[in-house]
Structure 1
Amino acid sequence: MPVETRTVPFRDLETWVQVTTPEQPRAGALPLVVLHGGPGMAHDYVKNIAALAEETGRTVVHYDQVGCGRSTHRPDAAADFWTPALFVEEFANLVAALGLERYHVLGQSWGGMLGAEIAITRPEGLASLAICNSPASMRLWVEGANALRAELPPEVRDALDRHEAAGTIDDPEYVAATQVFYDRHVCRVQPTPQDFLDTVAQMEADPTVYHTMNGVNEFFVTGTLEDWSVVEEVAGITAPTLVIAGELDEATPETWAPFVERIPDVRSRVFAGASHCTHLEQPEAFRAVVAAFLAEHDADAATFQPS
């Protein structure tokens, strides 16, 4: 598959973009823009979604949101620089720079949260939205994480509690305890896929965005997104929406229920035996569900050519 990488100017920053074009484009197949998670985790762990280019005959666009991966980093930026509005603006700038008039959006984890924020603004070009493994509010996320945490072995819970109380969250015992949670509810593939390891490595090299917006880890949320919610706003989403989750997902059913209950044109799919990285754990089945949804909401359009 032809793959092009480039950077797109955004404010005084640059957004790194990868465009994967199918060898045999399908007429009417709209491009798909993939939003990675974190915030701050870069695109590496979702890059296998590019396989949809050949499987569906559509262009697939990945990009690293500013502050991570191959895009411009700002480790000295104030906390109030890193807002959902920044990333909504970056997305709008990107689709304009690529010349996308109509497109689908798929967001995973934080990417699904961002996708909801984008869809709430009702951009004219948005043909459909896929929200994958994402909460509608951080309060619901934390409540769900705490419920899952309560099911961990007693010694693991004790290690988490002791080190969080003492502020020793860099202690190897604490790190090992968090890994127990991750192995159950974040990515169940063993050994951990290299794409996921690459994403974690780049985040750890510059954790500014993740630590500022999320906090210490997946269930100890202390960042600026602590009070984030779109529960009341998602009823205004007019794009057809697919909600995907894993049966063992750290995004528990309660966290994504508002999407299903409030978005007018919505459907959901839960993957049995999967957790948060459904696309890595059951990649073929995941892409098949997404492909069917995208095909249903494609429109008559000329084959997309990046500008």
Structure 2
Amino acid sequence: MSRITEGTMPFQDGHTWYRITEPDRPTPGALPLVVLHGGPGMAHDYLRNLAAIADETGRTVVHHDQFGCGRSSHRPDAPASTWTPQLFVDEYDALVAHLDLGDHHVLGQSWGGMLGAEIAVRQPEHLRSLAICNSPASMQLWVDGAAELRAQLPADVQDALTRHETAGSVEDPEYLAATRVFYERHVCRVVPMPSDFVDSEAQMESEPTVYHTMNGPNEFHVIGTMRDWTIVDRLDAVAVPTLVVAGEHDEATPATWQPFVERIADVQQHVFPGASHCSHLEQPEAFRRVVATFLAAHDDTAD
């Protein structure tokens, strides 16, 4: 069985919580994997099952709750300008140094994949590969994709979404029920939602500062500070092998992640048939198998 260690490191004016899963039988040369969760502000819980990669591949897996959510320090009164991609890049840098990880891989899911791309374009010394999972290369592409998917929803669901967004009543039960229809089609097609996802969602809803500030009230009504974010014109700077994955029914539609495939020099892609945004929860074994194969191909640290 793997060995689990939890701890915190100082960050900003508070702390960042992390969880390390070490394999019982390490594979020689298998580099650690740092997992970046989504949201922003959804905490790591919904990605907990990726800890199984430790025993399945003999490599250490590191999760953390990003600053402002989960078990890390919360700052509900911080100005909106606090919550920037650079803050979380700095946090990643601090975590890698604090844990003395050395050469390692990064996997980011949803916002975590966007963050992973932000990290990779800065070409950190010890980054050996990047897995971008269910992520857009710009928020405009994300919004456009969401609009296409919304147009396929039943007419009464579309009407409820539009009426309440126009009125600003996005907490209304009718609106929340309509968002659930979208979520069950394009976010996680496992019904009822897996407990790991429910745990992440619950902690975000109990203190939604980061998610609401950077994103907005939900996955497809994006009115936060990230509204104009894009990394498309910087992707040529990604210098490590990159895996891009998505689900067939993903809210990250093919157009949203195509720039990663087109502009990153060393890239491969994989689409999981029948899956959506949480491919790792819908098809966990297949997801981990695809990721493990990619990581093993890039464990060699030789120049």
TM-score interval, normalised by the smaller of the two chains: over 0.9
1:100 partner letter: L
2:158 matched to 1:157? yes
Shift of 1:11: 2.3
Counterpart CA distance in 2 for 1:11 and 1:247 is 39
2:287 partner letter: F
Is contact 1:34–1:107 with CA below 8 Å preserved after alignment? yes
Asked which structure has the greater RCO (Cα within 8 Å, sep 6+), the reply is 1
Q: Which runs of 5+ in 2 are unaligned?
A: none
User: Counterpart in 2 of 1:305?
Assistant: none
User: Counterpart in 2 of 1:182?
Assistant: 183
SS of 1:243 mapped into structure 2: strand
Counterpart CA distance in 1 for 2:164 and 2:14 is 38
SS of 2:10 mapped into structure 1: strand
List aligned pairs for 1:245-256, cutoff 5 A.
245-256=246-257
Is contact 2:5–2:19 with CA below 8 Å preserved after alignment? yes
List aligned pairs for 1:190-209, cutoff 5 A.
190-209=191-210
Counterpart CA distance in 1 for 2:12 and 2:75 is 13
Counterpart CA distance in 1 for 2:220 and 2:85 is 20
Which whole-Å deviations, capped at 9, do the CAs of 1:79-112 have from their partners, x for residues lacking one? 0000000000000000000001100000000000
Is contact 1:3–1:19 with CA below 8 Å preserved after alignment? yes
Which whole-Å deviations, capped at 9, do the CAs of 1:264-301 have from their partners, x for residues lacking one? 00000000000000000000000000000000000259
Counterpart CA distance in 2 for 1:165 and 1:223 is 16
Counterpart CA distance in 2 for 1:165 and 1:35 is 33
Which whole-Å deviations, capped at 9, do the CAs of 1:158-198 have from their partners, x for residues lacking one? 11111111111111110000000000000000111000000
Bigger drift between 119-128 and 5-14 goes to 5-14
Stretches of 4+ aligned residues off by more than 4 angstroms: none
User: Counterpart in 1 of 2:122?
Assistant: 121
User: Counterpart in 1 of 2:45?
Assistant: 44
Identity of counterpart residues, as a percentage? 67
Counterpart CA distance in 1 for 2:167 and 2:64 is 38
User: Counterpart in 1 of 2:299?
Assistant: 298
SS of 1:18 mapped into structure 2: strand
2:76 matched to 1:83? no
Q: Which runs of 5+ in 1 are unaligned?
A: 302-307
Normalized against structure 2, the TM-score is what? 0.98
SS of 1:298 mapped into structure 2: coil
List aligned pairs for 1:93-242, cutoff 5 A.
93-242=94-243
Is contact 1:87–1:114 with CA below 8 Å preserved after alignment? yes
1:83 partner letter: T
Counterpart CA distance in 2 for 1:114 and 1:280 is 21
SS of 1:123 mapped into structure 2: coil
Normalized against structure 1, the TM-score is what? 0.97
Is contact 2:103–2:301 with CA below 8 Å preserved after alignment? no
1:43 partner letter: H
2:30 matched to 1:29? yes
2:162 partner letter: D
SS of 2:68 mapped into structure 1: coil
Counterpart CA distance in 2 for 1:203 and 1:10 is 20
User: Counterpart in 2 of 1:279?
Assistant: 280
2:18 matched to 1:17? yes
Counterpart CA distance in 2 for 1:69 and 1:164 is 28
Counterpart CA distance in 2 for 1:259 and 1:235 is 9
SS of 2:59 mapped into structure 1: coil
SS of 2:232 mapped into structure 1: coil
SS of 2:189 mapped into structure 1: coil
Shift of 1:216: 1.1
2:122 partner letter: T
Is contact 1:27–1:300 with CA below 8 Å preserved after alignment? no
Which whole-Å deviations, capped at 9, do the CAs of 1:54-89 have from their partners, x for residues lacking one? 000000000000000000000000000000000000
2:190 partner letter: V
User: Counterpart in 2 of 1:2?
Assistant: 3
Counterpart CA distance in 1 for 2:280 and 2:49 is 8
User: Counterpart in 2 of 1:260?
Assistant: 261
SS of 1:202 mapped into structure 2: helix
